[in-house]
Every structure is written in C-alpha cells, then in structure tokens.
C-alpha cells in the first residue's frame, strides 16, 4: 500500500502573512505539511523561486521547515517572484507543489531613500495637516511602489482612494533611533495622464505629551511631518520618482480634522471637508507650498511587525439613561478602538462622545482616565446622512456617553470598531467551567487591546506605554494566543536601540520618560526573557542572535551593581508590584523584599544569557555566565533562606520565585519551599497574594512541588483577591489590580486603576500548559509535551495551538470513572506524553487517545 499523499500549506516568508512585501533581502521561509500518515517526518524539501522567465530550485536535505534560510541570491529592491515548496517524507511519499507564494522586496536599495520630511508652514503644535501633489504618469506603467512614513501618523490617498486599510501608520518605534516605512503597490490606483497623491497627518505619539500628575511634556517633536517617495517603473525600463521635498507639494491646516491626540481624542468638522482634495485638478485657493525640513534625518527601514487594522465591529448592547439623565451606550465588552457614527442634523451640530471602561454608581467612570479626555467630537455638515469615525486616536472603553445627538437617537447608528495590531490568532482554551472560559476570553481581549503597535500596559488613561515588566511576564501567554513573533521582535529592536551604554534597559520602551532609565528588576529583564520566549515558542533563533548583545549587556550592568556580594541591593525597585496586600495609594509596598526579587532575577537572567550563549556557539560566554549564575544562587540562598528552609520574605511570591527560577538544586529544600507555599496559600483562604512578579509563577510552583489540589483551589477562588473575582463582577478584560472595582461597585481609590491590563492574565499560559496539558518541549513546538493535570473542579479541558508546524491539540474528559485524553500532534513533530500513573511515552504525529484511571481524589 502506498503511503498517504502529503500536501504543503502555510507557506510564509519571514514574519509577514498579510502582504507579499518582505523587509529583508534574505527572508527565512517556513511551511507546514498536512497528511493523514502517522509518525510523519520530512526527509527533504524542494524550493522553487520563479522571477519572470527565470526559475531556480534549491533543496533542503533534512527535516527543517521553520525559518529555513533563504537559499537564493539576495532580493533586490522591488524584486518580485513566486515561491513554491514540495516535500518528501521519510516514508517516501512526496507532495505536489504548494500554491505559489508571492514575495516582493519591500525595502529600498542602499542610498535610494531621498525623500525629505514636509509639513504645512506655520503649523501649530500637534495641528493636523493635509498635503498633496499632482504628477503625470506616462503610458505603459509597469509598477508603482509607494514608500511612506511620518513623524506622527498618516494616511495616504491617490485619486480619492486609500492606498491600504491600515491604521496608525507608521506605528510607534524609538523615533530618535528607528523609523519604519510602509510599502504599498499603488499601480492599480494610477492611470496615464494627471494623477494626485494626498496625505493626512496627525501628531499621534510623535507630538503627544507624556508624563504623570499633570506634568506631561512633548518628547519627540511639536508638529507632524510626512516623507514619501513613489517609484514609477515603465515597460521600457525607465524609472521616475515622485518624492516629498521636490517642488509641487502643497499643504494646508484648514482641513476637516481640527484636533487629534492619542489621549485627548479627535475633533472633526465636516463643514470643512474638501471633496476631491487628493484628486488631480483640485485647488480651493487656501493651500500653500509645503515646508521642507532640510536637516539630516534617519533613513527609515521597512516595517516587519504586523499592521494595525480594524478587525471587528460590535453593536450597542444596551442604551442606559444614567441617574443624572445622560445617555450612555454599553457595548457589552471592554475593547480598544473607536466609534463609527451615522447621523443627520443641522450644519454646526456637534456630537460629543466620551469613553470609559466602567460605570461607577450608574455614571460614566472617568476618574481612572486621569488627564486623558478620551473625547471625540463630530461637527455635522448638514447633509442628509453623514458617516464618520476617528482615524488617529483610540480609546479603551466599554461605555460611551453621547451628548448633543440631533433628533431621535437610534442605537443602530453607532458601532464600536475594534482596532489592534492584526496578528493571526493561534491559541485557544476551553473547559467545562464557564467562569474559567470567561477569564481566558478576558485575557484574549486584554492582549488585543494592548498590542497596538507596541505592547502597552493599558489602553485608556494618560499612559498607554510600553512597560517592560508587563510584557516580561505575559510574553509566553501572548506567544500562544497570537502569532506575536514579528510584533515582539520589532519591539525588541527598540529595546536594544534605547539601551544605555552600560547595558541599562529602560523600563518603558519606547522610552519617553527620563526617569525610566533607572534599572529595575523584572522590568528590564524583558531584555533576556522575551527573546528567550520567542526562541522557545517560535524557534526564532535569529531574534536570540540579534538580541544577544542586549541580553548580555543587561546582565553585565546588574552584575556591576551587585558587586562582590553577588546581590543586587539597596537600589530602586518595583518589586512584586501590585501585591494585593499593598495599600491602594502605595503599590510599591509589596510584602516580598525588593532586594530578594532583584537578586532572584539577576540569577535568572544570568542563566538565560548562558543558555543563549551555548545555543549560539559562544562557549566561553556560556561558561562564564553559568559560573556567575551559580555564585548569585549561592549568595541568594545564604542571604535569604534559613537553615530550616524558610525564606526571609515569608510570602507566596518568594517561594514561587525560588521554585520556578531554580534558586535551589536541592530536592529536599525545594520540597520545603513547596510545602510552605501551599501552607501560605491555604492560610490565606486560597486567595492570591502575589503581584506582577509572583502571579505568573505560583501555579506552576505549586504543581511542580506536588500541590495541584492547592493550585486548583487557588484558581477556582471567587473571593477578592482572585483571578475569578473580576469575572464575578462582570469583567470582560483583565484588571490592573485584583480589586480595581470594589465589591460595592466603587472604583478602587488608588490613583492608578485600569480595567484592561494583561499582566495578571499570565495565568492563561498555565491553563494551556497544565490545566489542559499542551506545552512546547523543544523550540517552536518541534517536540510537544502532552501532560494535563486534571483539576477536580473540571469535567473536561482542552487547548489547541497553531504551532509553526501545524495545529496541535490536547483534550481530556472525565468518562465512566476514568479519563479519556486525546492529542493531535502535527506532522514533522513528536510529543512526550506524561499521564498520571503511566510511564512517559514518545509518540509521533497523528491523532492519539488514551484512557486512564481518574487520578483526582473523590472522582466519580
């Protein structure tokens, strides 16, 4: 019998799946194989690259199918072609060619960028700007490629048509060191003869005022500017260039967008609309010659992260009349984005929209927004029906207060538009416990809302910054739920660029606060943790290699601070931030000693650098950092652990750190740590006692030391503080504080309270790996671990993940006094299966099932 016929799918070049453009001349290639054959492994693969009439092929003589090195000559600027792959299995069966993948070089050649930044003369601080230029196109245009960027945010139109559906271009990067450009094929928007290109600009993050307590100041610049070049290629081989800074660019500040800010919101006056402004022949007499910035500027690089897009729309769930008589719309879900209006009324009528995440005693709860107005205004032109939505601002909200609506309000005329970086969804979790399912859904929504160009802490108040501590703890969860590799790899570039000369890592990236340069454990350790996670979850060795100097630099700086004692002591630290026992107005006051946390992270990061060095073949570095880590561990044990096995900070976080970071290699001592951790959880009535540092670790620490029953009780707790308490209070995202909303419906009195923070949502990674039982065992899920820990409070649990090799899944279910465990192992991978009361076993790809005795006490 012939073996089943495999097929190739999921072909991709580097990170991008949304467009053919790649930002590197040697894009790595990945593909997946589908087959009904069991235990299937790839023996070889053939790669075909077709450019015009030229076809080349290359072979892969092993099982590699993820991040395979580009086997052809480097791409040239604007080069395009089609790539196909076919594979042969170890069983001898070969696939047909895959569907072709279009690949286009999205970068410019060295020295080819000649655009200069332009804006409107005399534009005020953060004032929106319109720019336009007319140009002629000859017959027989072969291709037109637009490269565009901004100091601020921009959208481009050609002849009245948007060039793409992306939002918040070019995103937020470390603007002083790295600016990215967009690449668009605009050939279809051009016609022989006169044409026009137009750009609308707003300040966005570039002109935003950053800071706290009313002391916010601009950081990058005061007004937005635009730079672009349009490359026209003709069939006769000629090339023409239309670039900003050349003659012919015109500008105005008299457009309908009158004000825009990330925190403030957007104001739009439809009476000032300019129909046809981006089409040829337009001239209303108000435009001036654009002002060109002739100063030297950094050359933008191609964007490699996924674009920001509108991904979903939600209708009004309920119209509420508040006790004060105001009209508030409830969309049933805390989300990030904006509202779209359909409205008619008199010219000059202005609809005002104010956004918030919660109601407090029936009214819009705006205190947590602090100095963020989060208010949009639309002034009607007086046309029959007008449709509008903001473009350059976003809000975190479930509720929106509507003022001055003309005529009778119809909730069907308002839609919530969800906006975030458009990453592919890759991970799912379900169980028989509806509150757990809602908790997991809250984590998903929290990630979507806070992965908007950069990984932010929150999306609603006057902050929305790239706090390194949040993503350090959440990166494993993020890497399961969505294809976040390209997103986080791009952000890590900025982390390294903004790193201090002595290796110091800012605790906000991009950094817009001078005091954020202060070294802080668990926050700056994102420099070592996040690249490691991307390697573990995606097999992305290139990120590990690129970030290695940054990783090593951070550890070297802390080692200098630790000195001969090998302990980081006496410096500023966030510690176990937002320990539920800290007073509302002083989140620094965690019960776990700050220095204990700092030195534990020094040990962990030293180990991670040693492991990275070993993987990269840097054996000398590996030995040096491993030896240093041993010295730190010995110092930590001497300083913080008593002979009886107690840690001087007798807290849940201290023991979780010790267990999960491997701060002891003594099994007996680890057992004591686990017993004490379980006792502390039980003494607290199975309520959580951890902040940002301890929360991602505690459940694993309990299970690893034989206390799964305690972990189950902690997970299922619904009293405050607990993971499920916010669910019982109607939360639809993860809160910043365990008690952001008090039981009486009052917002936490602390000055800092958000209802959309993903850090405590790191529990989802444990749900995937342990409660359901699906985890990576080798980088990129090349080898899986199937090891569910059935919890007594569940009848079943399931996890599924689209790995780089294909879909993997695990499901366990109680049935007839036993448990049935099912697993899907993707082709070209294998799995280690560890089930209760059975010897571990290795299985290949395919569908597998086991029936075992139910190990849970009291199971029926």
Q: Active-site residue numbers?
A: 463, 736
> β-strand 327-343 against 395-403: which pairing, if any?
antiparallel
Biggest distance spanned by C-alpha atoms of the chain: 86
Rounded CA separation 494/140 (Å): 42
Q: How far apart are CA 256 and CA 275, in angstroms?
A: 11
Burial of 26 (0-12, 13-18, 19+ CB in 10 A): middle
- Please count the other Cβ atoms lying within 10 Å of the Cβ belonging to residue 370: 17
How would you list the strands of the sheet with 153-158, edge to edge?
A: 161-162, 153-158, 193-202, 129-137, 250-252, 288-289
- Rounded Cα–Cα distance for residues 90 and 44 (Å): 8
Whole-angstrom Cα distance, residue 577 to residue 589?
A: 8
Sign (positive or negative) of CA dihedral 183, 188, 193, 198: negative
Instruction: Give the pairing type, strands 129-137 and 193-202.
Output: antiparallel
User: CB neighbours (10 Å) of residue 158?
Assistant: 21
State how far the Cα of 823 lies from the Cα of 808, in Å rounded to an integer.
7
Nearest partner of 724 among 760, 750, 751, judged by Cα = 760
Answer for the pair 678, 716: CB distance below 8 angstroms, yes or no: no
CB-based contact 298:179 (threshold 8 Å): yes
Whose structure tokens read 């450009």? Answer: 181
Q: Using alpha carbons, list the distances in angstroms from residue 25 to 13, 52, 160, 682.
A: 11, 18, 33, 57
Of 177, 173, 760, nearest in space to 487 by CA: 173
Helical H segments across 451-525, by residue range = 468-481, 485-497
12 DSSP β-pair partners: 30
**What distance in Å separates the CA atoms of residue 349 and residue 346, rounded to the nearest whole number?**
6
Residue matched to tokens 């951890």: 690
How many C-beta atoms surround the C-beta of residue 304 within 10 A? 19
Residues linked to residue 33 through DSSP beta bridges, in sequence order:
8
Query: How many other C-beta atoms can be found within 10 angstroms of the C-beta atom of residue 350?
Result: 15
Task: Return d(Cα 598, Cα 572) in angstroms, integer.
Answer: 10
Tokens linked to 406: 């003309």
273 contact partners, CB below 8 Å, separation of at least 6: 256, 381
The set of long-range contacts for 764-767, using a CB threshold of 8 Å and a minimum separation of 24, is 764/429, 764/439, 764/440, 764/443, 764/477, 764/480, 764/481, 765/476, 765/477, 765/480, 765/696, 766/696, 766/699, 766/700, 767/429, 767/436, 767/440, 767/797, 767/799
The pair phi, psi for residue 520, each rounded to 5°, is: -145, 125
Which residues lie below 8 Å from residue 202, measured CB to CB, with a gap of 6+? 126, 128, 152, 153, 154, 224, 257, 260, 266, 391, 392
Token pair in block for residue 78: 């604007």
Strand partners of residue 198: 132, 157
DSSP calls for 384-432: SSEEE--SS--EEEEEEEEES--SS--GGGEEEEEEEE-PPB-EEEEES
Contact 524, 466 (CB under 8 A): no
Rounded CA separation 517/533 (Å): 24
Indicate the DSSP class of residue 76: P
| Cβ count within 10 A of residue 284 | 11
What are the strands, taking DSSP E only, across 434-563? 451-452, 454-455
Neighbours of 428 (CB within 10 A): 17
């Amino acid at each position: 019998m012939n073996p089943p016929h495999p097929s190739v799918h999921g072909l991709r070049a580097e990170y991008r799946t949304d467009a053919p453009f790649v930002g590197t001349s040697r894009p790595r290639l990945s593909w997946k194989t589908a087959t009904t054959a069991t235990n299937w492994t790839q023996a070889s693969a053939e790669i075909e690259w077709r450019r015009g009439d030229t076809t080349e092929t290359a072979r892969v003589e092993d099982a590699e199918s993820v991040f395979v090195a580009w086997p052809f000559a480097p791409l040239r600027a604007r080069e395009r072609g089609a790539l196909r792959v076919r594979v042969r299995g170890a069983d001898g069966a070969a696939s047909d060619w895959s569907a072709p993948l279009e690949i286009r070089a999205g970068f410019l050649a060295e020295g080819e960028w000649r655009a200069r930044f332009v804006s409107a003369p005399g534009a005020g601080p953060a004032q929106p700007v319109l720019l336009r230029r007319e140009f002629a196109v000859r017959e027989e245009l072969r291709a037109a490629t637009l490269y565009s960027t901004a100091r601020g945010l921009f959208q481009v139109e050609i002849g009245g048509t948007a060039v793409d559906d992306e939002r918040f271009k070019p995103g937020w990067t470390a603007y002083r060191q790295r600016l990215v450009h967009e690449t668009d094929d605009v050939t279809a928007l051009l016609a022989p003869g006169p044409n026009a290109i137009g750009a609308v600009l707003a300040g966005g993050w570039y002109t935003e005022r950053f800071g706290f307590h009313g002391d916010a100041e601009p950081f990058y610049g005061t007004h937005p500017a635009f730079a672009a070049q349009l490359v026209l290629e003709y069939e006769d081989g000629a090339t023409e260039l239309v670039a900003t800074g050349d003659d012919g660019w015109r500008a105005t500040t008299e457009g309908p967008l009158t004000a825009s800010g990330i925190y403030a919101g957007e104001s739009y006056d439809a009476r000032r609309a300019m129909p046809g402004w981006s089409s040829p022949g337009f001239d209303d007499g108000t435009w001036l010659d654009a002002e060109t910035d002739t100063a030297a500027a950094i050359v933008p690089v191609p964007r490699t992260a996924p674009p920001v897009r509108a991904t979903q729309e939600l209708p009004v769930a309920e119209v509420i009349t508040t006790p004060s008589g105001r009209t508030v719309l409830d969309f049933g879900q805390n989300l990030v984005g904006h509202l779209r209006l359909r409205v008619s009324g008199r010219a000059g009528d202005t609809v005002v929209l104010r956004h918030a995440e919660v109601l407090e005693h029936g009214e819009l709860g705006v205190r947590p927004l602090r100095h963020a107005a989060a208010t949009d205004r639309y002034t009607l032109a007086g046309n029959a029906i007008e449709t509008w939505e903001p473009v350059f601002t976003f809000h975190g909200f479930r509720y929106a207060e509507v003022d001055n609506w003309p005529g009778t309000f119809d909730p069907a005329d308002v839609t919530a538009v969800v906006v975030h970086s458009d990453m592919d969804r890759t991970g799912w979790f379900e169980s028989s416990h509806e509150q757990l399912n809602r908790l997991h859904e809250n984590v998903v929504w929290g990630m979507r809302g806070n992965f908007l160009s950069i990984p932010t802490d929150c999306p609603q108040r006057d902050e929305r910054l790239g706090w390194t501590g949040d993503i350090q703890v959440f990166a494993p969860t993020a890497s399961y739920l969505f294809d976040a590799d390209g997103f986080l790899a791009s952000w890590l570039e900025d982390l390294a660029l903004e790193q201090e000369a002595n290796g110091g890592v800012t605790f906000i990236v991009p950094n817009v606060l001078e005091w954020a340069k202060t070294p802080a454990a668990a926050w700056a350790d994102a420099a070592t943790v996040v690249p490691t996670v991307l390697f573990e979850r995606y097999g992305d060795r290139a990120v590990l290699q690129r970030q290695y100097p940054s990783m090593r630099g951070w550890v070297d700086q802390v080692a200098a601070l630790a000195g001969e004692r090998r302990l980081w002591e006496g410096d500023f630290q966030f510690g176990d931030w937002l320990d539920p026992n800290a007073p509302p107005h002083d989140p620094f006051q965690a019960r776990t000693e700050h220095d204990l946390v700092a030195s534990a992270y020094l040990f962990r990061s030293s180990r991670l650098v040693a492991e990275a060095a070993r993987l990269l073949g840097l054996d000398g570095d590996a030995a040096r950092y491993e030896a240093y880590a041993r010295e730190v561990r010995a110092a930590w044990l001497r300083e913080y652990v008593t002979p009886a096995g107690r840690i001087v900070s007798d807290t849940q976080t201290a023991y979780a750190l010790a267990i999960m970071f491997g701060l002891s290699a003594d099994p007996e001592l680890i057992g004591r740590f686990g017993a004490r951790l379980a006792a502390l959880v039980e003494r607290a009535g199975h309520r959580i006692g951890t902040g940002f540092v301890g929360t991602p670790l505690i459940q694993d620490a309990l299970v690893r030391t034989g206390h799964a029953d305690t972990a189950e009780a902690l997970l299922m707790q619904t009293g405050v503080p607990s993971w499920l308490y916010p669910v019982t209070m109607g939360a639809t995202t993860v809160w910043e504080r365990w008690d952001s909303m008090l039981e009486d419906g009052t917002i936490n009195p602390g000055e800092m309270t958000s209802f959309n923070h993903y850090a405590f949502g790191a529990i989802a990674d444990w749900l995937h790996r342990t409660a359901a039982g699906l985890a990576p065992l080798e980088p990129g899920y090349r080898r899986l671990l199937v090891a569910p820990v059935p919890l007594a409070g569940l009848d079943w649990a399931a996890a599924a993940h689209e790995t780089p090799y294909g879909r993997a899944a695990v499901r366990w279910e109680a049935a007839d006094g036993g448990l049935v465990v099912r697993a899907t192992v993707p082709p070209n991978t294998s799995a280690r299966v560890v089930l209760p009361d059975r010897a571990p076993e290795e299985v290949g790809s395919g569908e597998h099932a086991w029936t075992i005795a139910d190990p849970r006490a009291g199971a029926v």
